[in-house]
Amino acid sequence: MQLAMTPWLDGLNTFLSIALFIIGLFCLLTRRNVIKQVIGVKIMLQGVTLGLIQAGHLSGDVNFAQTMVISALIVEAVVIAVALALIVNIFRHYPSGDVDELKRLWG
């Protein structure tokens, strides 16, 4: 059963996906802690996922949008797993987790 979406709900969903992406980008660019930056990336990916679903709904090809979302979720899980592994290594060497301290690794 498909729910009928009114134009204002379509606009709201589009606005929310853009807002999530911008909030995640802001968090990624302004925070110095590695964990907070990974949370920002996660928020950005959720905005992209919502945008894919909304684009599929607007184009009328929901099945393709669902396929793209499943692929995006798999990629997202891999990215977060690698990021968490890097965070563990960062906290072993730099307990504060500050990104600016990582500049000492340049050599």
**CATH level 3 topology of 8-106:** Helix Hairpins (1.10.287)
Residue 19 in contact with residue 43, Cβ under 8 Å?
no
pLDDT tens string 78-92: 999 999 998 898 888
Question: What sign for the dihedral angle of Cα 44, 49, 54, 59?
Answer: positive
pLDDT tens string 7-44: 888 889 999 999 999 999 999 999 888 889 999 999 99
What are the tokens at 6? 């009114």
User: Residue ranges per domain, the chain?
Assistant: 8-106
Q: Is the pLDDT of residue 105 over 80?
A: no
pLDDT of residue 48: 93
Amino acid at 77: A
pLDDT band for position 96 (50/70/90)? confident
For 21, the 3-state DSSP assignment is helix
